[in-house]
Structure 1
């Protein structure tokens, strides 16, 4: 992008798409189960605290977090069109 190298995990704290099954990212994961019968669909959000601590120690944390959130905002915007 700008010639600066980043870690492979840069901008990947959150899953970008939530599909049926386990959706993992570096820190957060979501398991989405299909509804069965009268049971409503169910999502379970998990946080890997060790990875969060690793992210917090990274000198690029603020920029990485902002990029992760921007990707979610854009994906949300596109999904509502």
Structure 2
């Protein structure tokens, strides 16, 4: 393992949790309300364009974005198998 130092926000473009409640990432936020009876709540996703622009200017953007996407791929694989 290498000892590369990363910014504190490294890997936080998206929220860490995708479940009922409000969750904030550096760029994207997510709110999922509890289901009301038989109706499933529609997730509300917000984006912070100035933060996205800030991320895009960061020299670690490509690596950070890939880490975020890898985490999402892993979460998707786990959720479809359990």
Give the TM-score, by structure 1 length: 0.90
Structure with higher RCO (Cα < 8 A, 6+ apart) = 1
How far did 1:65 drift? 0.5
Residue in 2 that maps onto 1:73: 73
Distance 2:52 2:72 in 1: 18
Cα distance, 1:38 vs. partner? 4.9
Alpha-carbon shift at residue 50 of structure 1 (Å): 1.2
Superposed CA RMSD: 1.3
Aligned residues: 81
SS in structure 2 of the partner of residue 17 of structure 1: coil
* Runs of 4+ deviating beyond 3 Å: none
Runs (5+) with no aligned partner, structure 1: none
Residue 42 of structure 1 deviates from its aligned partner by 1.9
Q: TM-score, normalised by structure 2?
A: 0.89
Give the match's secondary structure for 2:22: strand
**Is 1:15–1:25's contact at 8 Å kept on the other side of the alignment?**
yes
What is the match of residue 20 of structure 2? 20
- Unaligned runs of 5+ residues in structure 2 are none
